[in-house]
Amino acid sequence: MVYLENIGRYFIMLREVFSRATKWPMLKNLILKDIDDLIYGSLGIIIFISFFIGGVVSIQTALNINNPLIPKYLVGFTTRQSVILEFAPTFTSIIMAGKVGSYITSSIGTMRVTEQIDALEVMGINSLNYLVLPKIVALMLYPFVIAIAMYMGILGGWMAAVFGGYSTSAQFIQGLQIDFNTFHVIYAFLKTIVFAFLLATIPSFYGYYMKGGALEVGKASTSSFVWTSVAIIIANYLLTQLLLG
């Protein structure tokens, strides 16, 4: 029953987020701050992880191609498909659920503990719109981050394959080009937008409705990471079934 209650409160929260909008000059500053904190501040870890994930995929693919009849360009092909379809959008989003989600939950939860949210309500400001909407708008730039993750993952795979002696550069690039389907990139960006919405709203929900003191802020951050990851995995399955099934 607690889970059903939380689901209901989550959708009620979404309705409040998009009502009684904050004035644009103030909202613009909040959006720019959240873009800096949530998007720009996450580029380093995403570039680092994507690069080495692409390298690992490339090496593992090459090591499992032992038959001389199997063309070497499959290393590039498999790396491209793995990075674009799953590793860049989904794996990166789960990592972001830990980094960005914990930040959102702890920052909003701290405002709840220190009664800053109550002060906003007293001043007649819609606190949910003020706190959550800028994060949703900022994370709509998330597909650009995933595009960088795709590029770095493929670059990491190319460097691992070529400098590791598993494939030539020409063979790897041939694998990148063969049977390329543009819709796979569109599919990855579409589900990334859904993931971005979940990354902005679920951690905000746990931060906004938490009760207690500083200890509960940590517990709320843990819960938000777990349930954001669960929601991303379920959404990934459903979107894959709808768009590629």
- Count: domains in the chain: 1
Tokens representing 77 are 């092909």
Determine the structural domain holding residue 179 and report its residue range. 25-243
Tokens representing 206 are 């746990």
Tell me whether residue 34 is in a domain: yes
Q: What is the pLDDT of residues 67-123, one digit of tens each?
A: 777 788 888 899 999 999 988 999 999 999 988 999 999 999 988 888 888 888 888
What type of residue sits at position 149? A
Tell me whether residue 12 is in a domain: no
Q: How many CA atoms lie within 13 A of 220 on its CB side?
A: 26
The pLDDT value recorded for residue 1 is: 65
- Does 245 have pLDDT greater than 80? no
What share of the chain in percent tops pLDDT 70? Answer: 100
Query: Which of the 8 DSSP states describes residue 22?
Result: P
The pLDDT value recorded for residue 147 is: 94
Torsions phi, psi of 135, nearest 5?
Answer: -70, -40
- Does 35 have pLDDT greater than 80? yes
Tell me whether residue 225 is in a domain: yes
Tell me whether residue 29 is in a domain: yes
Q: What is the pLDDT of residues 181-221, one digit of tens each?
A: 899 999 999 999 999 999 999 999 999 988 877 778 888 88
Tell me whether residue 167 is in a domain: yes
Quickly state the pLDDT bin for 229 (edges 50, 70, 90). Answer: very high
Tell me whether residue 191 is in a domain: yes
Tell me whether residue 30 is in a domain: yes
- Does 152 have pLDDT greater than 90? yes
Tell me whether residue 100 is in a domain: yes
